[in-house]
Amino acid sequence: EAGVAQSPRYKIIEKRQSVAFWCNPISGHATLYWYQQILGQGPKLLIQFQNNGVVDDSQLPKDRFSAERLKGVDSTLKIQPAKLEDSAVYLCASSFVGVTYEQYFGPGTRLTVT
């Protein structure tokens, strides 16, 4: 069974630039999550989708972050413009509906903002 795919794996940008991350969840998983993991901390949920609808985006900094899941499968997370404090690993995860505790994580995208 293929796992959660993410790209790119690494990205270095300058502050005020834009960046986008892509995620392809496990086939059949209707729920998709984006997390931000700052070095030395646990993952923090940014946004949760069920199919193509947003379930929870309470911790998403909406002035600069956006995410979409147009067809209920792939998802993109965008940051525009980036700040130094956005340097982190961005994790995508997916799960079956109603099985929120058993999430399958991708390898993450390490973002460095200089």
Partner 1 sequence: GDSVTQMEGPVTLSEEAFLTINCTYTATGYPSLFWYVQYPGEGLQLLLKATKADDKGSNKGFEATYRKETTSFHLEKGSVQVSDSAVYFCALIWAAGNKLTFGGGTRVLVKP
Binding site for partner 1 (CB under 8 A): 3-4, 40-45, 48, 56, 91, 93, 100-108
**Is 22 or 105 the residue whose CB approaches partner 1 more closely?**
105
Is 65 in contact with 58 (CB distance < 8 Å)?
A: no
For residues 34 and 75, is the Cβ–Cβ distance under 8 A?
yes
Nearest CA to 114 out of 85, 91, 90, 79 is that of 85
Which residue's CB is nearer to partner 1, number 36 or number 82? 36
- Residue 23 Cβ, how far from partner 1 at the closest point, in Å? 11
Nearer to partner 1, 108 or 113 (CB): 108
Give residues with Cβ within 8 angstroms of 108, minimum separation 6: 6, 9, 37, 89, 90, 91, 92
Report, in Å, the least distance between residue 70 CB and partner 1.
23
We find the least distance from the C-beta atom of residue 84 to partner 1, in angstroms, to be 21
Please, what is the minimum distance in Å from the beta carbon of residue 29 to partner 1?
Answer: 14
